[in-house]
Structure 1
Amino acid sequence: MIVTIIAFIIVFGVLVFVHEFGHFYAAKKSGILVREFSIGMGPKIFAYHKNGTTYTWRLLPLGGYVRMAGLEDDEDTLQKGAPVSLVLNDDQIVTKINTSQKKILKNALPLIVTDWDLQKGLWIEGYENGDEEQVKRFKVDHDAMIIENDGTEIQIAPLDVQYQSVSVPKRLITNAAGPFNNFILAIIAFGLIAFIQGGVQVETNSNQIGTVQTSSVAAKAGLKADDRIVSVDGKKTDNWQELVNAISSRGGKETTLVVKNKNKTRQITLVPKVVKQNGEKIGQIGITEKIKTNHSIGAILSYGFVRTWQIIVAIFAALGQMFTHGFSLNDFGGPVAMYSMTSKAAHYGVLSVINLMAFLSINLGIMNLLPIPALDGGKIVLNVVEGIRKKPIDPNKEVVITMIGFALLMILMILVTWNDIRRYFF
């Protein structure tokens, strides 16, 4: 249980970190101010500010996020009539605005806020020291810091460093960088697996057994490694997929196998064990496919790219079938499904966990590229539309589109999570 939880946190954390770091790096290079880069969610444990970005470590070790200037609502940071304190430099320019009651700044000037502009004019005004006889305006430094209610210090977001102020191509690259990083992670992870194994395992797609699990139905029936199962209950099985399909349909039923090994042929009768997989009951006998290993350097170096591409093609094929053959919640998996898969992977060791992480990273990259509002793919579509129209999309319409997309995603996530709970725990 503990091993599964640790593995889940590591896998989930790495996936999110790599994804968000892609957005972070691209935004920085594009001239967009990244106000905060957070590891984890919830209350802040640690914070460090450098080069315009506040790096935070938060209590819950799941997820993370990047706050880009212009992409979050900052109106709640300052409020009219709220007490703040200002830190001024020698030129009487504000370098820090404290809105938090959790922090007290020495030699700071008390102010009751009446109005402000931290995007264009860069000023703040209010009643100094509670004196309501006169409103006083202070100039704010372009790189001034603001202390939020929870005590987090972040840089203010002037218009020239906001997301909307950079070119469309730069915004598009920034939005695509997260999924791109997920594909890079998968390539590296698969390459690492090949390197550790000393070669690339190649599925033969034959009807030959590679291993027989101890105490399994197959082991008790006398099946051994290198046996070839040429038919299942009279149905010919020329390759592994046909073999899997035939045995899967025989769960709990007495089944006769025709087995060959070298020049000897024999018949074996057994009853495949009924197991639950992805919400469906199938038959299993406890065997794995015969695997060959290519030890060449070229195979090892190229495996990450080849395997990543194979999975991308397979996922798009599965998505295509969803649209042509009907939609089912069983085609999706949320955090519960991910936890279940991590539990199984952790049982088989580190390489299995790395393999799962690579697979999930590809899934995360592709899902985020789908043209759905609130996802990276939806933002990319808006970037393309703006590039074609040669003018920005109405911000109000963009907000409505994003909110609708976000609401639909939340509904889907709730349905998928509930379906996962039913599939894996009931």
Structure 2
Amino acid sequence: MSFIITLLAAVFVFSAVIAIHEFGHFAVAKLCGVQVNEFSIGMGPVLLKKMHHGTQYSLRALPVGGFVALEGEESPESQQAEGEERSDLEEQPLSQRSGADGSPDGGASKEEELSQPTGKPLNEAPVWQRALIMAAGACMNFLLGFVVMAIVLTAQNEPITSRVIYAVEDGALCGQTGLEAGDKVLAVNGRRCFVANDMLYELMRTEDYSASFTVLRDGKKVELPCVQFDTWQDEDGETHMSLGFTVYGIRKTPVNVIKEAWNSVLYYGRIIFTSLMDLLRGRESINDLSGPVGIVTAIGQAASYGWQDLLELLALITVNVGIFNLLPFPALDGGKVVFLLIEGVTGHAVPEKIQSGLTLAAFALLFALMIFATYNDIVRLVTGAI
């Protein structure tokens, strides 16, 4: 039963994240007057399809992912859509292709009218429109994260957690080294705190159980350069930090929910970007990378805790996908935006041969990285680390 729940939860999360991403490309392409040959939910063989205003809307057999095929875009999905369109046309009886009266110049059928392109090819659109289309997918991922967090915050019984200290425990080391009741935490270790989890994340990253705080006290900013925290050891001998303070709750009003949902998206974006920088700097090991197996395992665990935990993980994953796609890497949307910026500045497009070569090399690197991360997942799964 748990396997089925994990499978359904994984399909829901992956489908939601990728479908909303592709919808972003689709919606902005339509607004910019670019021809969209196909908008597909799912991958693989077509189960259902409908042609409307020159775009085929498809439901495909594999319920994970999706794609948008744009006219004039050199992508596998676009070439596949164009090939399927030509195949469908060749399979039609000659009478249907030639017109209602059977003559080559006869009146076009309603189906043919619906299938006629209504927009311009992508490569004929202005540079700024192409850049918007490429960036729109990631923007929709951020929007999905915001909506999901607003739902989670609205549904939870507890108030919103603030960054204002309610009380410091008697004798707590953090109180002896600077923190006071009533302090509003603005930053920890120089990093601005948007939500309460920002404080916890920065404290988790400290190595000596101390941190610098910037707080708002009696209307003035106060710098606390070395706030120290008590520690305790579990039965396995591992050392843990004790916060030693509690914070106020915030009443859930529509304004507060919207503000906290937006700040939560910023928080997720921060930890994803920080984790990436830690990986590049060597602070985190590449062996800690997780691939599809690890993500599915995490989704299954979240689903077992309840729908709210699953939605919170969905928000984290969709923000992750948005940030990852905006990285200036040739195989990603961010890389395409970089090529377009170069074209906009110089007035000349980057040669197709260079773009294709860089994209192919980037895809190979990403594929190798995914294989390595999947290997890590399997090792952790077998050894019981996850």
TM-score, normalised with respect to structure 2 = 0.71
Distance in 2 separating the partners of 1:403 and 1:242: 37
- The equivalent position to 2:358 in structure 1, one of 401, 409, 423, is 401
Contact 1:202 1:294 in 2 (8 A): yes
Contact 1:35 1:53 in 2 (8 A): yes
Contact 1:143 1:156 in 2 (8 A): no
Contact 2:290 2:373 in 1 (8 A): yes
Distance in 2 separating the partners of 1:143 and 1:368: 41
Structure number with bigger Rg: 1
- The equivalent position to 1:13 in structure 2, one of 12, 15, 30, is 15
After TM superposition, the structure 1 = structure 2 runs for residues 226-241 of structure 1, keeping only pairs within 5 Å, are none
Shift of the 157–352 alpha-carbon distance from structure 1 to 2, 3 Å rule, reads same
Contact 1:368 1:376 in 2 (8 A): yes
- The equivalent position to 1:167 in structure 2, one of 126, 129, 144, is 126
Which residue pairs with 2:251 in the alignment?
A: 295
Distance in 2 separating the partners of 1:329 and 1:192: 34
Deviation at 1:322, TM superposition (A): 2.2
Equivalent position SS for 1:65: strand
Contact 2:233 2:239 in 1 (8 A): no
Deviation at 1:329, TM superposition (A): 2.7
Which residue pairs with 2:183 in the alignment?
A: none
Q: Which has the higher mean CA deviation after the structures are superposed, 323-332 or 187-196?
A: 323-332
From the two aligned structures, give the one with the greater helix fraction. Answer: 2
Distance in 2 separating the partners of 1:327 and 1:243: 16
| One-letter identity of the residue aligned with 1:50 | H
Equivalent position SS for 2:67: strand
Distance in 1 separating the partners of 2:37 and 2:252: 46
Offset from partner CA, 1:77-105 (integer Å, 9 cap, x none): 999xxxx9xxxxxxxxxxx955578x453
Offset from partner CA, 1:195-216 (integer Å, 9 cap, x none): 112564327799x9xxxxxxxx
Which residue pairs with 1:308 in the alignment?
A: 265
Deviation at 1:377, TM superposition (A): 0.5
Distance in 1 separating the partners of 2:236 and 2:170: 20
- The equivalent position to 1:360 in structure 2, one of 317, 325, 346, is 317
Q: Is the counterpart of residue 417 in structure 1 residue 366 in structure 2?
A: no
Which residue pairs with 1:31 in the alignment?
A: 33
After TM superposition, the structure 1 = structure 2 runs for residues 77-92 of structure 1, keeping only pairs within 5 Å, are none
Distance in 2 separating the partners of 1:202 and 1:377: 34
Distance in 2 separating the partners of 1:324 and 1:24: 37
Deviation at 1:396, TM superposition (A): 2.2
Deviation at 1:108, TM superposition (A): 4.8
Greater RCO, 1 or 2 (C-alpha within 8 Å, sep 6+): 2
Equivalent position SS for 1:391: coil
Offset from partner CA, 1:121-164 (integer Å, 9 cap, x none): xxxxxxxxxxxxxxxxx89x999989xxxxxxx95779x71111
Contact 2:294 2:377 in 1 (8 A): yes
Contact 1:4 1:346 in 2 (8 A): yes
Q: Is the counterpart of residue 272 in structure 1 residue 274 in structure 2?
A: no
Contact 1:40 1:64 in 2 (8 A): yes
Contact 1:78 1:99 in 2 (8 A): no
Distance in 1 separating the partners of 2:63 and 2:145: 22
Which residue pairs with 1:129 in the alignment?
A: none
Distance in 1 separating the partners of 2:162 and 2:66: 37
Distance in 1 separating the partners of 2:23 and 2:39: 8
Distance in 1 separating the partners of 2:378 and 2:146: 31
Shift of the 310–241 alpha-carbon distance from structure 1 to 2, 3 Å rule, reads closer
Offset from partner CA, 1:20-76 (integer Å, 9 cap, x none): 100110111111111111111111110011122111111111111111111136778
Q: Which has the higher mean CA deviation after the structures are superposed, 35-44 or 330-339?
A: 330-339
From the two aligned structures, give the one with the greater strand fraction. Answer: 1
Contact 1:49 1:55 in 2 (8 A): yes
Deviation at 1:8, TM superposition (A): 1.1
Deviation at 1:425, TM superposition (A): 3.2
Contact 1:345 1:353 in 2 (8 A): yes
Shift of the 327–355 alpha-carbon distance from structure 1 to 2, 3 Å rule, reads closer
Equivalent position SS for 1:18: helix
Deviation at 1:338, TM superposition (A): 1.3
Identity %: 28
- The equivalent position to 2:146 in structure 1, one of 150, 175, 187, is 187
Contact 1:190 1:304 in 2 (8 A): yes
- The equivalent position to 2:51 in structure 1, one of 44, 49, 52, is 49
| One-letter identity of the residue aligned with 1:60 | L
Which residue pairs with 1:369 in the alignment?
A: 326
| One-letter identity of the residue aligned with 1:45 | L
Equivalent position SS for 1:42: strand
Deviation at 1:229, TM superposition (A): 11
Shift of the 402–144 alpha-carbon distance from structure 1 to 2, 3 Å rule, reads farther
Equivalent position SS for 2:37: strand
TM-score, normalised with respect to structure 1 = 0.65
Equivalent position SS for 2:62: strand
Q: Which runs of 5+ in 1 are unaligned?
A: 85-95, 111-137, 147-153, 209-225, 250-268, 275-281
Deviation at 1:332, TM superposition (A): 3.1
Q: Is the counterpart of residue 105 in structure 1 residue 64 in structure 2?
A: no
Deviation at 1:106, TM superposition (A): 6.2
Which residue pairs with 1:333 in the alignment?
A: 290
Distance in 1 separating the partners of 2:58 and 2:23: 13
Equivalent position SS for 1:161: coil
Q: Is the counterpart of residue 69 in structure 1 residue 71 in structure 2?
A: yes
Contact 2:41 2:58 in 1 (8 A): yes
Deviation at 1:240, TM superposition (A): 6.8
Which residue pairs with 2:61 in the alignment?
A: 59
